[in-house]
């Protein structure tokens, strides 16, 4: 697996990292081919994420070679696109989301900027926008969405699940517009009167009310951060994944406009297995790529703080809670079409109730495809 070691400052102010080791651990038998994407894919393959650099995006940063540079003004990281330690013959650019894109949905950017080949589109977003802005996801690096609702176990010792919060009447903060909350309230899992769409990604409100309110987060991030880093807290939080509460959308799947997928068919046949291997390689040996992520955060310097310890803990949690895991067919990165079909039925109901208009007769094949997946690539 690719390892990186700090070597010095590049002229752009980013840090260069040199390869210093290797490994195996492959489950597929295909050896990376030098220059395999040259002339088949765009000269620069552009990926759009939905937040600042973090371990949850590690599989994309794993694709970036040791010659990487960070564009702080644009919040982008670019370099040679590599498969392990082998150059693919093209470059890759990973663009930050969240504050860097004015908190827009990634789907919006896919339709605004033709340079973006693939971006993070969760199944729920794909269903919601399928009528007017369809997307097709080609690989699912996460089998389970890392998103959680968390609470203070001292304040609420009897709460073990999200549903248990209803009886307490506790305020539950979340990012306004998150469809999973409409699901939780429509199904009666939470009371509509107790949910609060003012969460801004910061811990200040949770701290200010002493844990009396619950809030959304990532199981790979907030529990470790609150217990080990956040000086105003430094104790446990409890949580449940929204997946386990019934909202089973695939998160951070790489998707593109249908016409983009069609136009890049030959490229995706080669690129998607590289992405699959990148996720496997990353969780097997994350240290070097985590160093890149931390460096990118520090160079971009937009108020997002992230440490190597947080990144390492996130990878442990990804594997421990089987967020990164093989699909029921035994493959890393493939979609369970039965699960997607069941989710569409649930999602269409939720979105229709709030005034959205998903595509009539929407099917799993409209929003995801396993066409480009290499079934020999597994994790664990």
Average pLDDT of the segment spanning 46-58:
97
CATH of the domain at 137: 3.40.190.10
Average pLDDT of the segment spanning 141-160:
98
**Burial class for 251, CB neighbours closer than 10 Å (0-12, 13-18, 19+):** buried
Average pLDDT of the segment spanning 191-210:
95
- Cβ–Cβ < 8 Å for 334, 374: no
Q: How confident is the model at residue 201 (pLDDT cuts 50, 70, 90)?
A: confident
* 57 and 125 belong to one structural domain: yes
**Residue 123 maps to a domain:** yes
- Cβ–Cβ < 8 Å for 81, 90: yes
Query: Is it the case that residue 79 has pLDDT exceeding 70?
Result: yes
Query: Is it the case that residue 27 has pLDDT exceeding 70?
Result: no
Average pLDDT, the chain: 92
Q: How confident is the model at residue 31 (pLDDT cuts 50, 70, 90)?
A: low
pTM for this prediction: 0.91
* 319 and 210 belong to one structural domain: no
* 234 and 102 belong to one structural domain: no
* 98 and 37 belong to one structural domain: yes
Name the pairing type of β-strands 4-9 and 15-19.
antiparallel
pLDDT in tens, 245-282: 999 999 999 999 999 999 999 999 999 999 999 999 99
Q: What is the pLDDT of residue 30?
A: 65
Query: Is it the case that residue 206 has pLDDT exceeding 90?
Result: yes
Structural domains of the chain, count: 2
Please tell me which residue, 200 or 138, carries the higher pLDDT value: 138
Q: What is the pLDDT of residue 200?
A: 87
**Residue 372 maps to a domain:** no
**Residue 377 maps to a domain:** no
* 121 and 269 belong to one structural domain: yes
Q: Output the CA torsion 16→20→373→140 (10° steps).
A: -60
* 40 and 176 belong to one structural domain: no
* 254 and 116 belong to one structural domain: yes
pLDDT in tens, 84-115: 999 999 999 999 999 999 999 999 999 999 99
Residues in contact with 293: Cβ distance below 8 Å, sequence separation at least 6, in sequence order: 53, 54, 55, 57, 58, 61, 306, 311
Separation between Cα atoms, residue 215 and residue 198, nearest integer Å: 10
Looking at 241, 262, 289, the residue that finishes a domain is 241
Q: What is the pLDDT of residue 1?
A: 38
Q: How confident is the model at residue 10 (pLDDT cuts 50, 70, 90)?
A: very low
* 14 and 121 belong to one structural domain: yes
Looking at 181, 215, 241, the residue that finishes a domain is 241
Quote the domain boundaries for residue 284: 4-142+250-367
Q: How confident is the model at residue 28 (pLDDT cuts 50, 70, 90)?
A: low
Separation between Cα atoms, residue 256 and residue 193, nearest integer Å: 37
Query: Is it the case that residue 214 has pLDDT exceeding 70?
Result: yes
**Residue 255 maps to a domain:** yes
* 31 and 117 belong to one structural domain: yes
**Helices marked H in the chain — which ranges?**
58-61, 106-112, 123-128, 165-168, 179-186, 204-208, 222-228, 258-263, 265-284, 287-300, 308-320, 337-353, 364-367
Average pLDDT of the segment spanning 196-217:
95
Q: What is the pLDDT of residue 177?
A: 84
* 14 and 151 belong to one structural domain: no
Looking at 241, 274, 301, the residue that finishes a domain is 241
Q: What is the pLDDT of residue 17?
A: 30
pLDDT in tens, 12-26: 333 233 333 333 344
* 202 and 305 belong to one structural domain: no
Query: Is it the case that residue 46 has pLDDT exceeding 60?
Result: yes
Structure token pair of residue 129: 């926008």
**Residue 379 maps to a domain:** no
Percent share of the chain, pLDDT over 70:
92
**Residue 376 maps to a domain:** no
* 222 and 362 belong to one structural domain: no
């Amino acid at each position: 697996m690719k390892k990186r070691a700090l070597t010095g400052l590049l002229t752009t102010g980013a840090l260069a990292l040199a390869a210093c080791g290797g490994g195996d651990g492959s489950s597929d038998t295909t050896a990376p081919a030098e220059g395999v994407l040259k002339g088949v894919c765009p000269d620069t393959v552009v990926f759009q994420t939905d937040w600042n650099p973090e371990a949850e995006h590690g599989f994309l940063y794993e694709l970036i070679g040791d010659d990487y540079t960070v564009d702080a003004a644009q919040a982008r990281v670019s370099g040679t696109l590599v498969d392990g330690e082998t150059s693919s013959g093209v470059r890759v650019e990973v663009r930050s989301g969240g504050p860097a894109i004015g908190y827009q949905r990634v789907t919006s950017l896919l339709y605004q900027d033709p340079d973006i080949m693939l971006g993070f589109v969760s199944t729920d977003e794909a269903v919601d926008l399928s009528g007017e802005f369809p997307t097709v996801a080609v690989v699912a690096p996460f089998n389970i969405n890392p998103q959680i609702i968390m609470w203070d176990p001292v304040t609420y010792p009897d709460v073990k699940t999200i549903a248990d919060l209803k009886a307490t009447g506790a305020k539950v903060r979340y990012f306004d517009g998150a469809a999973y909350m409409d699901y939780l309230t429509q199904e009666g899992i939470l009371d509509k009167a107790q949910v609060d769409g003012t969460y801004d990604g910061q811990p200040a409100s949770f701290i200010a009310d002493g844990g009396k309110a619950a809030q959304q987060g990532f199981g790979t991030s907030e529990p470790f951060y609150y217990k080990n880093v956040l000086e105003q807290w430094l104790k446990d939080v409890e949580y449940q994944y929204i997946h386990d509460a019934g909202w089973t959308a695939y998160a951070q799947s790489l998707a593109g406009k249908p016409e983009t997928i069609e136009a890049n068919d030959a490229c995706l046949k080669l690129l998607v297995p590289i992405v699959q291997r990148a996720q496997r390689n990353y969780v097997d040996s994350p240290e070097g790529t985590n160093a890149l992520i931390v460096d990118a955060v520090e160079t971009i310097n937009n108020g997002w703080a992230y440490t190597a310890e947080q990144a390492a803990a996130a990878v442990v949690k990804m594997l421990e809670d089987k967020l990164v895991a093989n699909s029921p067919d035994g493959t890393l990165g493939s979609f369970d079409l039965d699960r997607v079909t069941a989710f569409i039925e649930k999602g269409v109901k939720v979105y229709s109730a709030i005034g959205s208009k998903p595509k009539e007769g929407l099917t799993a094949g409209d929003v995801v495809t396993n066409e480009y997946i290499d079934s020999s690539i597994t994790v664990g």
